[in-house]
Amino acid sequence: MPETSLTSPSPTLILGSTSRYRRELLERLRLPFSVSPPDIDETPQPGEAPAALATRLALAKAWAVARKFPDAVVIGSDQVADLNGEPIGKPGTHERAVAQLHSMSGQSVVFQTAVAVVCAARGFVRQGLAPVRVRFRTLADAEIESYLLAEQPYDCAGSAKSETMGIALLDAIESDDPTALVGLPLIRTCAMLREAGINPLLHSGTPT
């Protein structure tokens, strides 16, 4: 397949997400895109492993939007924290965030971040998983309380925002796709977009 040229038209790109973190990450690529919220049920299936849950939801989000805009290239993504095989999602409340950080204190947690790229009209489907292993420090109660009051990361899986003050909760991060922990693995996303006909280095512009 020939390399996409500078004059080749780029397909419409849509981010199927309500996450401001994913929107901010995708904006780094300087690609024109729009955002459409996916309407899906995110309830885990009985016995579903965290990696399988994240992968299924990322694909479901992409397809939910792709069915409405079949000619567009749609990105879906999902993240589930994995503590010893148990899924940890967004806490939603302060009390649940406290409980999550207590359970992860001194533990290694794998943040399973999945991404899917779909174009319904062309039957194009790609998906991938970017696991990130995070080792939490042994956290004092006062540290947990201070962090949560400062950041209020109640919309983040695992109650930790590593891109800001949450980095102080951690001992180590191991990943081959650095933005995966924030919510969208851009290395894998770029590879899928190139296959879909959108090259970030050739189609960059002003994000919408």
Among residues 39, 41, 78, 171, which one is catalytic? Answer: 78
Q: Which residues pair with 113 in a beta bridge?
A: 79, 130
Widest distance between CA atoms in the chain: 58
Annotated catalytic residue 155: no
Q: Which tokens belong to 172? A: 């180590």
As a whole number of angstroms, the distance between CA 19 and CA 16 comes to 9
From the list 155, 166, 134, 148, the residue with the least C-alpha distance to 22 is: 155
Residues 50/101, Cβ–Cβ less than 8 Å: no
Q: Which residues are catalytic?
A: 78
